């Protein structure tokens, strides 16, 4: 069941209405059952994986509390890591490992012929695996008490608003909120529904419309000139942002209606002035997860330069692998690692260059240059993220500069647009939507869209609701396109 489906339009109000009418303990049982039903709408069989993770980490945490020594607790932590990461590896990375073994065998003259496993990736397995691991790690560190109620912990693992695509929550933040009695709060409901409205707009109007053009060009990049390859890459940058942040807005909005505040997962990432700043703004729950559970244990900023680089390398390698079992994701992650290294190594030189050129003397010039440069670097990374193979990514990057204005082989501008299954008007609309989003985020700044909209005078506020609703009904695609991050 997807947030942008007809089923969810009926599912969520029914779940919320029943929740508000039940006593506190029954509310949690009801939300757990609703969460399981929500997940089973994709594939009933894969609910078994959630149950395995839930029962494993519930038991592991209780066992860890019985050990005062770290060695005893560590053994149980390893049990959690092995079972959870083992399931993740089996369903997500087995074929990648098999391919790597096959290639290694060919290099040494051995034909291993590792069989290919034709299995469907469970929706959201990367998200709920990391969320339940954060619980066992926090219990191991002594920052979280083991949960006594199996129902409450099971709800923490499977809470439906953020089950399949995050945000990846921490137990200290989410568990107490799940235990709090739920009641109808008009202000919370309105605030949550504003977020839902904004998220649906970003998904079905902007992301899905941009996806049409991006998919056609990336499926056959050799048919298009460099200007359209570049435009498709920029469009993909906004497609994936609106798709993923749109999901997060809907998730946070639904949770807020139900009395739970999920963490903010995006903060205008394309306004970042550096790659480091970008990762403070993009997929914040995953970035902080890797920071706390990989980067800091490796030494973080406290160790030597070598330890810092090793920790950073591990973070970006794992981040790439977390996103998918394809070499393109690994290269995407390592490319950002390279950006980090280059940025740190050249920082003194760039600072001197900025002062020598007098860039700080012109108000606003330096931030514009920094934001533009960062966006270009991020878009280069998105080519690997979106491409089906390394060969396709290399082809696109090597042809971005070619035939920018020579469109005659493709039948001119109108011929290219027609090949994208778009009219010239629809093509212009896509550009307008991207520009409109940039302007809107510039106006809203660090505030939530719903909060900003709620502070407007009532006539303007209702005008905003009406405009968003009309845009969704008239410009939203009828086809139900899955959220991009569901594949992770």
Mapped to the 3 state alphabet, what secondary structure does 155-199 carry?
HHHHCHHHCCCCCCCCHHHHHHHHHCCCCCCHHHHHHHHHHHHHH
| Number of Cα atoms under 13 Å in the Cβ half of residue 341 | 16
**Pair 232, 150: CB distance under 8 Å:** no
**Residue 150: exposed, middle, or buried by beta-carbon count in 10 A (0-12, 13-18, 19+)?**
middle
Sign of CA dihedral 133, 136, 142, 146: positive
Retrieve residue 163's tokens. Answer: 């089950």
d(CA 121, CA 82) in angstroms, rounded, equals 19
Q: Token digits for 307?
A: 């330890």
Residues 251/127, Cβ–Cβ less than 8 Å = no
SS3 labels along 287-305:
HHHHHHHHHCCCCCCCCCH
241 phi, psi to nearest 5 deg: -65, -50
Would residue 336 show up in a list of annotated catalytic residues for this protein?
no
Q: Which of 25, 173, 283, 323 is catalytic?
A: 323
Closest by alpha carbon to 232, among 244, 245, 219? Answer: 219
Three-class SS of 294-350: HHCCCCCCCCCHHHHHHHHHHHHHHHHHHHCCCHHHHHHHHHHHHHHHHHHHHHHHH
Stated as kind and residue range, the H or E segment containing 99 is helix 94-107
**What are the phi and psi torsion angles at 20 (to 5°)?**
-65, -20
- Helices and strands of the chain, counted as H and E runs: 21, 0
Q: What is residue 271's DSSP assignment?
A: G
DSSP 149: -
Contact 56, 79 (CB under 8 A): yes
**How many residues are there in the chain?**
488
Cα separations in angstroms, 196 against 249, 254, 279 = 6, 7, 24
Instruction: Categorise residue 218: left if φ over 0, alpha if ψ from -120 to 50, beta otherwise.
Output: alpha
Report the catalytic residues.
Answer: 323
């Amino acid at each position: 069941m997807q947030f942008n489906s007809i089923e969810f339009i009926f599912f969520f109000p029914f779940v919320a209405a029943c929740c508000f009418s039940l006593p506190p303990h029954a509310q949690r049982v009801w939300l757990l059952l609703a969460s399981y039903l929500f997940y089973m709408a994709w594939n009933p069989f894969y609910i078994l994986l959630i149950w395995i993770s839930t029962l494993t980490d519930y038991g592991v945490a209780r066992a860890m509390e019985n050990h005062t020594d770290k060695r005893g607790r560590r053994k149980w932590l390893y049990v959690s890591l092995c079972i959870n990461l083992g399931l993740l590896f089996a369903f997500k990375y087995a074929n990648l490992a098999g391919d790597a073994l096959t290639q290694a065998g060919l290099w040494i003259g051995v034909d291993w012929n590792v069989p290919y496993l034709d299995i469907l990736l469970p929706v959201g397995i990367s998200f709920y695996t990391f969320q339940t691991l954060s619980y066992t790690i926090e219990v191991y560190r002594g920052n979280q008490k083991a949960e006594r109620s199996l129902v409450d912990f099971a709800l923490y693992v499977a809470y439906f608003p953020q089950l399949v695509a995050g945000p990846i929550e921490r137990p200290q933040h989410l568990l107490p909120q799940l235990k709090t009695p739920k009641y109808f709060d008009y202000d919370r409901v309105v605030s949550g529904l504003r977020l839902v409205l904004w998220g649906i707009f970003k998904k079905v109007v902007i992301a899905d419309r941009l996806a049409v053009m991006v998919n056609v060009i990336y499926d056959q990049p050799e048919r298009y000139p460099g200007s359209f390859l570049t435009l498709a890459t920029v469009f993909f940058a906004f497609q994936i942002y609106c798709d993923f942040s749109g999901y997060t807005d809907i998730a946070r909005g639904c949770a807020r209606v139900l009395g739970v505040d999920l963490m903010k997962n995006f903060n205008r990432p394309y306004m970042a002035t550096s790659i480091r700043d970008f990762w403070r703004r993009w997929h914040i729950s995953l970035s902080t997860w890797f920071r706390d559970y990989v980067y800091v244990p490796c030494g973080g900023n406290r160790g030597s330069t070598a330890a810092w680089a090793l920790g950073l390398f591990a973070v970006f390698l794992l981040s790439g692998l977390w996103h998918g079992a394809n070499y393109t994701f690994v290269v995407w992650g390592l490319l950002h690692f390279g950006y980090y290294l280059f940025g740190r190594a050249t920082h003194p030189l760039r600072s001197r260059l900025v002062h020598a050129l007098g860039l700080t003397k012109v108000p606003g010039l330096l931030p514009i240059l920094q934001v533009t440069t960062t966006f270009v670097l991020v878009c280069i990374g998105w080519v690997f993220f979106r491409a089906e193979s390394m060969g396709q990514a290399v082809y696109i990057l090597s042809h971005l500069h070619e035939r920018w204005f020579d469109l005659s082989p493709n039948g001119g501008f109108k011929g290219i647009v027609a090949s994208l299954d778009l009219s010239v008007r629809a093509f212009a609309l896509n550009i307008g939507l991207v520009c409109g989003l940039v302007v809107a985020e510039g106006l809203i700044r660090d505030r939530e869209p719903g909060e900003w909209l709620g502070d407007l005078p009532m006539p303007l506020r209702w005008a905003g609701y009406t405009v968003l609703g009309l845009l969704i009904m008239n410009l939203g695609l009828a086809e139900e396109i899955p959220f991009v991050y569901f594949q992770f």
